[in-house]
Amino acid sequence: MKFLTCAAKDLRLFTRDRTGLFFTFLFPFLLIGIFGLIFGAGYRLPDLHVAQEDNGQLANLYVSTLENVFKIHKVENAEAAEQNVRNGLAVVGLVIPENFSRGGKVRLFYDPAKGDIAISMKATIESVTQRFWAGGESPVESQSVVGREIHAMQHFVPGWSIMFILMTAGIGIASTIVVERKSGAFKRNLLAPIRRGSFLGGHVFSAFVIGCLQLAVYFAFGILVFGMPVYGSPLLVALIGALVVFFGVGLGLLVSSFARTTDAASSAVWAVIMPMSALGGLWWAKEMMPAWMQSISNVLPTTHAMDSFRAVIMRGEGLAAIAPSLAVLAGFTIVVLALALKLFRWEE
Amino acid sequence: MPIVEIRDLSKTFNGRKAVDRLNLTIEEGELFGLLGPNGAGKSTTVAMLSTVLQPTDGTAIVSGHDIRKRPKEVREIIGVVTQDVGLYDDLTAAENLAYFGKLHGVEGGKLRKRVNKILDIVQLKDRTKSRVKTFSGGMKHRLNLAVGLIHKPEILFLDEPTAGLDPAARLSVWELIKGFQAEGTTILLTTHYMEEADYLCDRVAIMDQGKIVALGTPAELKRSIGKLEVIEVKARAPKKLVAKLRKIRKVEKAEITSEGLRVLTPAADAVLSQVVKSLADEGVHMDSLNIIQPTLEDVFIKLTGRALRD
Ligand SMILES: Nc1ncnc2c1ncn2[C@@H]1O[C@H](COP(=O)(O)OP(=O)(O)OP(=O)(O)O)[C@@H](O)[C@H]1O
Ligand SMILES: [Mg+2]
């Protein structure tokens, strides 16, 4: 169990590095927080999804009245209006029935779980409609619907998690080994009666512990501070996270065989992770990128990690659905680790 | 009883022989010195004995274990202090010792006791909880020595334990080393300071270009070069002066060393005036001139025709 001794030493060194701690834990909060406040708070009035089944003059007049207050998004039919509320694409869906001109009641679907916005939209629609009919009995039939929440954090938390976990694992393990080599501590470890595997195992294990801690902390931050929902299994989230950590560890080990200084080590890791993050859709949805870029994106491990996270977190998918992406990620991880072990420099 | 037996040990780097068919035995409890100039192969020898460098040929038996076949067993009983410091700057003195102690299988209460004792020995008791990066060079050096001893090794390899230290620090390290030997540890020490080998070692092997050129107690070695005297001049002497001095009759050897000039002769009185004249002719300013008994440096000069440090 000598690898535990080695790992405990690495963890102790990690806690002594204040800058490292800042970039590992606080800096990501800052970024997630900023992006969360910009995109995630949802203070913008969401579109009103409207299914207009009556195309008469009166109905058109009614829609244009609503347009004074809301941005209207037309949908196919009543089912679509309800479905969009259910799967979180809309907060409120409105159906203008065929018999609207003859006094048919407007049907309204809203998701009370969305809070004040849903309630105030519902109230506004009710009062606008009431005035449109100039009084009379309530012309709106409201129905509350339990909708799934799509939360900006469901993108930013996994996105930034992948990036920062890869950075920390990669830079962490590479620069620790570079410093050990430089200080002569590396040689001294090998002079002890331990197996080489224990020495490397210690590094891998300590990096793994730190990576898992990061994952837990970032997700806790998203969930507790921003109310990010996770629809799928937390175990799957942990599984994807673990693969991401190992990929970062492999990358760090690989870099440690070439880099002579800690600066070179972190530059090398940055140079790999940054483009992978941008192209992998960690900062923005990859669907926003041009098609040719998406085809590059589809071969990157970061993309597969992100797709798996999104599938589990946003859509509640199970293992079967993400298995292909996990296989790609695991494949990359194994190749990088194998290469790192093969090229690792034991002698000067 | 020999505790280390080196048999035809060789190491070739890119076709150049760093260590060339070395044969040596070190007795239990002995303080054995490998004395040689830069590049003689001392560190390479130590690295092979401590199993971190694979020999090209030959082997060594350390306390009954073959270094090639039982490297882990060998590492369990040896302590190694390499030429460069191998410490974690961000761990404290005690944490460094505890970490390497644990790697050697020393645990719990035993480890705590040993850490305390060893910090006491190397006079770092008051800095137990300070991080190593706050230490002076000398303190790091002492802690580095301490790490090699944390697991009470049977055999201690010290590779240039005083290189780069000022004279006072060197003296205190010498006392430490004597203390380690008194504890019963067998010590193999490498150095290119002849005073160090002379003062500390029971036996010395003089090494040059991967080979042993002389072996014996310091006294035996000094006697071995015959009845010679040494004119030791402290001065900055130009290279061409040496050729001139060698032409003087009865001068056996003349070499430039790190401190100045050494002239080996069977009759110092007879050649002194000519030596001084040669110096004056070249306009060399002398800081001092002494006629002394030969040292190990002179043994080396006699045997190889070169100075230990050039
Ligand atoms: N890893 C290596 N690769 C190639 N050559 C090496 C290597 N290590 C040592 N050498 C060569 O082997 C020879 C012996 O080196 P070594 O370090 O053993 O000498 P040393 O006696 O310890 O010298 P010093 O007093 O400078 O420490 C030198 O010529 C050196 O250049
Ligand atoms: Mg050396």
Would the CB of B210 count as within 6 Å of ligand 1? no
Verify that B185 and B233 share a domain, yes or no. no
Domain boundary (B170, B204, B221) is at: B221
pLDDT score of A42 more than 50 = no
Asked if residue B161 and residue B265 are part of one domain, the reply reads: no
| Chain center to CA of A221 | 12
Q: Is the pLDDT of residue A147 over 70?
A: no
Query: Which ligand lies nearest the alpha carbon of B13?
Result: 1
| Residue B15 counted as domain residue | yes
Q: What are the pLDDT digits (tens) for B140-181?
A: 989 999 999 999 999 999 999 988 888 888 898 999 899 989
Assess whether pLDDT exceeds 70 at residue A62. Answer: yes
CB B45 within 8 Å of CB B19? yes
pLDDT at A313 over 80: yes
List the one residue out of B297, B280, B302 whose CA is nearest residue B289: B280
CATH number at residue B88: 3.40.50.300
B310 lines ligand 1 (CB under 6 A): no
- Residue of A305, A170, A301 lying closest to A236 (CA atoms): A305
**B303 lies in some domain:** no
User: Which class is domain A48-144?
Assistant: alpha beta
Higher pLDDT among residues B24 and B164, named by residue: B24
CA distance B257 to B235: 10
Say whether A191 and B95 touch across the interface (CB within 8 A): no
What pLDDT does residue A303 have?
94
Q: Is the pLDDT of residue A301 over 70?
A: yes
Q: How confident is the model at residue B24 (pLDDT cuts 50, 70, 90)?
A: very high
Task: Map out the domains of chain A as residue ranges.
Answer: 48-144, 153-343
Nearest ligand (C-alpha, residue B41): 1
B266 and B209, same structural domain?
Answer: no
Residue A46 is encoded by which pair of tokens? 């969401």
pLDDT mean across residues, chain A: 87
| pTM of the full structure | 0.77
Q: Is pLDDT at A39 greater than 70 in this prediction?
A: no
Residue in the structure block whose two tokens are 């620790």: A176
Write the pLDDT tens digit of every residue in A102-119. 888 899 998 877 777 788
Distance CA B131, CA B95 (A): 9
Q: Taking 90 as the threshold, does the pLDDT of residue A201 lie above it?
A: yes
For the cut 70, the answer to whether the pLDDT of residue B309 exceeds it is no
Q: Which residues contact A107 (CB under 8 A, 6 or more apart)?
A: A78, A94, A95, A97, A140, A141, A143
CATH of the domain at B275: 3.30.70.980
Segment B283-289 mean pLDDT: 89
Q: How far is Cα A110 from Cα B67, in angstroms, rounded to an integer? A: 78
Same domain as B234, residue B216:
no
Give yes or no: residues B135 and B40 share one domain: yes
* Nearest-by-Cβ selection for A193 from B85, B99, B104: B104
| pLDDT tier at B115, thresholds 50, 70, 90 | very high
- Chain A residues whose CB is inside 8 A of the B100 CB are 188, 192
CA B167 to chain centre: 15
pLDDT in tens, A222-276: 899 888 888 889 999 999 999 999 999 999 999 998 898 999 999 999 999 999 9
With respect to residue B200, please indicate whether it lies within any of the assigned structural domains: yes
% chain B with pLDDT above 90? 61
Chain A closest-CA separation from residue B46 CA (Å): 11
pLDDT band at B138 (very low <50, low <70, confident <90, very high): confident
Q: At which of B221, B236, B262 does a domain end? A: B221
Tokens of B176: 């430490």
Residues B168 and B191 in one domain: yes
Lowest mean pLDDT among A35-44, A133-142, B63-72, B237-246: A35-44
Which residues of A have a CB under 8 Å from any CB of B?
2, 5-6, 9, 12-13, 16-17, 183-195, 347
Residues B142 and B214 in one domain: yes
For a ligand 1 pocket test, name from B42, B188, B189 the mutation site with the most ligand atoms within 8 angstroms of its C-beta. Answer: B42
State whether residue B284 sits within 8 Å of chain A by CB: no
| Residue given tokens 């035809």 in the structure block | B8
d(CA B173, CA A104): 101
- What's the CA gap between A185 and B57, in Å, rounded? 28
B184 in a structural domain: yes
Kindly state if the Cβ of B191 falls inside 6 Å of ligand 1.
no
B104 touching chain A per CB within 8 A: yes
Helix axes A153-183, A234-258, angle to 10 degrees: 30
Same domain? For B213 and B287 the reply is no
Q: What is the pLDDT of residues B247-271, one digit of tens each?
A: 888 888 898 888 888 999 988 888 9
Instruction: Compute the distance between CA of residue B78 and CA of residue A190 in angstroms, rounded to an integer.
Output: 13
Q: Which residues of A touch B131 (CB under 8 A)?
A: 16
DSSP tag of B131: B
* Ligand closest to CA B309: 1
- CA distance linking residue B2 with residue B26, whole number of Å: 5
CA distance A211 to B258: 54
Do B197 and B257 fall into the same domain? Answer: no
Query: How confident is the model over B54-83, as a mean pLDDT?
Result: 94
Q: B204 and B100 in one domain?
A: yes
| Dist. CA B194 → ligand 2 center (Å) | 15
- The number of beta carbons lying within 10 Å of the beta carbon of residue B65 is 19
Give the confidence band of B207 by pLDDT, cuts at 50, 70, 90. very high
- Shared-domain flag, residues B58 and B123: yes
Which structural domain, as residue segments, surrounds residue B279? 226-293
Write phi, then psi, for B44 (nearest 5 degrees).
-60, -40
CA–CA gap between residue B202 and residue B216 (Å, rounded): 8
The interface residues of chain B toward chain A in range 40-69, judged by CB-CB distance below 8 A, are 50, 52-53
Q: How many domains does chain B contain in total?
A: 2
> Is B196 in the same domain as B289?
no
pLDDT value, residue A149: 62
Where are the alpha helices (H) located in A105-233, listed in sequence order? 116-132, 153-183, 185-191, 196-226
Q: Give a yes or no: residue B302 inside a domain.
A: no
Q: What are phi and psi of A243, to 5 degrees?
A: -65, -40
Judge whether B307 lies within some domain. no
